[in-house]
Structure 1
Amino acid sequence: MQLRKNRIRFTRINHIFISHLHGDHCFGLMGLVSTLGLLGRTADLHIYGHEDLERIFQPQLNYFCRDMPYRIVFHAVNTSVSELVYEDHKVKVHSIPLKHRVPTCGYLFTEQPSDNHLIKEQMDFYQIPIKDIAGIKKGGDFITDDGVVVPNHLLTTPGPAPRSYAFCSDTKYTESIVPIIQDVDLLYHEATFLAGDEKLAAKTFHSSARQAAEIAKLANAKQLIIGHFSTRYKDLSLFEDEAVSVFANTAIAKEGCEFSVPLSTR
């Protein structure tokens, strides 16, 4: 329902990353998998999470989706270490070990480096053939027929710097994640409680809005999104006020909100 409401095409979803096996983070998966089958999906769907995820869902798939027109591929993630769990030509995904009541990890999504931009006047001046353009975009120099090396910086300008997004779901305050998410462009960090309830936060392995902001500050994040608020609080503005007092560029995660990460030069 949320995908339709926010006009996200079902066919664009090829990889699903599950942080941990608590119901509010994985119970909807079976329904989505079944719906995709009813819609006629044929491409493989890759699902990443703790090794128990496959043990839990495979019997349900065998019972409810035995005639499904596409294949589910499970990928076990070691939630105790940070490691590369997925990579293609556009993005890399690393796991982020978190501290919760069950094995849990967040995920760091980082764009692959983009190609350099060609300087047309220089390309024309050196009469660079088409066959050499791809290599020059990747940072290579150009060698003339006379053996003269034309360095890449004379032929190109840097492309945009790779952008990054870190998703840190349920977790108690832990500075161990800071080196993994250092300088991240956009950080989502749970903020279940307010600062006055930080003893309860520690007991239940959750964080406060202030603690989420402290992580963002230590990591030198450019923007922070907080969410996963306890229903004991009726005024969500209190979370934003608390976090902003520590980390100014903070926003609250609300259904349907969109957050942009601007491009910047390298």
Structure 2
Amino acid sequence: MEKFDVNILGCGSATPTLQHFPSTQVVNIREKLFMLDCGEGAQLQFRKSKLSFSRLNRIFITHLHGDHCFGLIGFISTLALLGRTGDLVIHAHADLEKLLRPQLDYFCRDNPFNVKIEPFAPEKNEVIYEDRSLTVSTIPLKHRIPCAGFLFREKEKEARLIKDMVEFYQIPIRDRVAIKQGADFVKEDGTVVPNAKLTKPADKARSYAYCSDTIYDEAIVPIIEGVDVLYHEATYTNNELPQATSRGHATAAQAAQIAKLANAGKLIIGHFSARYPDNRIFLREAQEIFPNTILANEGLCEKL
């Protein structure tokens, strides 16, 4: 199967610690890189993860709290130093334009590429990016300021041709696209070769949901139903549930409950509060509800 990896570059919350970097992830789909949030030190973590700066396609910012976007100006400056020339598109709340543009005009006025900010409405569930193999749609989240997660979903794939059968029946190139789309093959003498004899089922289309800062909200469940891997913030444990709710965050148990309701394949929890020196407390709490849970950690590469 072609590459679909989720790289964790940072999974801490707002208060800096020696344990974690702020929120940053990179989704690698067929060597095309998509950055999710951009906390401080993102360019350093990009290098540590051995990701290629030249393959960065777009950046998606969930919301405009500093631990999710303070790394942008440094990262953009690094791209310029490395010789990027192609435009960089950032999907974010419209306010990013007035916040980031003055920094770009001052620090990056000689950049060899343009930075384009494409705003989205965080309260809507809509497709904001699409190419021939992928869609990215927003997931409305409930935080203290407008916030949206992102759902990466592969498009349904065509069936795969069985090479030996193609050669045996000497199927012309002009007929192969139709066969991959489900057509039978008709030989010159009128004999019909069934499609099932010529193809293998397509690889399953994969999906990844990134749900950053949010309270517990079952409204997102229909949007992420059946997702292969779900990242859901788990800033607190249930012992601090009142504070989690008042601060616009979720607990590990709540993240697990969302994964369970959505029939997710796997849950990754992160955005850990600095008050917890041992993150295994989050894992124990989540696994009681959703056993297939793992902890986010810098350097983790989850392969879908």
Q: Fold match, TM over 0.5?
A: yes
**Is 2:65 aligned against 1:22?**
yes
Alignment deviations for residues 215-257 of structure 1 (CA, whole Å, 9 cap, x no partner): 0000000100001111112221110000000000101111111
Give the structure 2 partner of residue 130 of structure 1: 173
* CA-CA distance at 1:146 after TM superposition: 5.5
Counterpart CA distance in 2 for 1:64 and 1:195 is 43
**Is 2:150 aligned against 1:90?**
no
Give the structure 1 partner of residue 3 of structure 2: none
Alignment deviations for residues 173-205 of structure 1 (CA, whole Å, 9 cap, x no partner): 000000011111110000011011111111111
* TM-score normalised by length of structure 2: 0.82
Residues 190-205 of structure 1: pairs in structure 2 closer than 5 A: 190-205=233-248
**Is 2:220 aligned against 1:177?**
yes
Partner of 2:182, secondary structure, is: coil
* CA-CA distance at 1:155 after TM superposition: 1.8
Alignment deviations for residues 99-132 of structure 1 (CA, whole Å, 9 cap, x no partner): 0000000000012223311123432443311122
Give the structure 2 partner of residue 13 of structure 1: 56
Give the structure 2 partner of residue 106 of structure 1: 149
* TM-score normalised by length of structure 1: 0.93
Is there any run of 5+ residues in structure 2 with no aligned partner, and where? 1-43
Counterpart CA distance in 2 for 1:4 and 1:122 is 45
Counterpart CA distance in 2 for 1:138 and 1:31 is 46
The residue identity in structure 2 corresponding to 1:157 is K
Q: Is the 8 A contact 1:171 1:205 kept in 2?
A: yes
Q: Name the CA shift for 1:72/1:140 in 2 (closer, same or farther; >3 Å).
A: farther
Structure having greater relative contact order (Cα 8 Å, sep ≥ 6): 2
The residue identity in structure 2 corresponding to 1:160 is D
Give the structure 2 partner of residue 40 of structure 1: 83
Partner of 1:199, secondary structure, is: helix
Counterpart CA distance in 1 for 2:127 and 2:45 is 29
Percentage of identical aligned residues: 53
Give the structure 1 partner of residue 8 of structure 2: none
Q: Once structures 1 and 2 are overlaid, which stretch shifts more, 195-204 or 206-215?
A: 195-204
Give the structure 1 partner of residue 291 of structure 2: 248
Q: Name the CA shift for 1:157/1:235 in 2 (closer, same or farther; >3 Å).
A: same
* CA-CA distance at 1:149 after TM superposition: 5.3
Give the structure 1 partner of residue 271 of structure 2: 228
Q: Once structures 1 and 2 are overlaid, which stretch shifts more, 60-69 or 248-257?
A: 60-69
Give the structure 2 partner of residue 59 of structure 1: 102
* CA-CA distance at 1:150 after TM superposition: 4.4
The residue identity in structure 2 corresponding to 1:161 is K
Q: Is the 8 A contact 1:193 1:208 kept in 2?
A: yes
Alignment deviations for residues 62-97 of structure 1 (CA, whole Å, 9 cap, x no partner): 222111101112111110011001011232101000
Give the structure 1 partner of residue 119 of structure 2: 76
The residue identity in structure 1 corresponding to 2:113 is Y
Q: Higher strand proportion, which one?
A: 2
The residue identity in structure 2 corresponding to 1:8 is L
RMSD of Structure 2 on Structure 1 (CA): 1.5
Q: Is the 8 A contact 1:14 1:44 kept in 2?
A: no
Q: Name the CA shift for 1:52/1:147 in 2 (closer, same or farther; >3 Å).
A: farther
Residues 113-124 of structure 1: pairs in structure 2 closer than 5 A: 113-124=156-167
Is there any run of 5+ residues in structure 1 with no aligned partner, and where? 262-266
Q: Once structures 1 and 2 are overlaid, which stretch shifts more, 206-215 or 154-163?
A: 154-163
Counterpart CA distance in 2 for 1:95 and 1:129 is 42
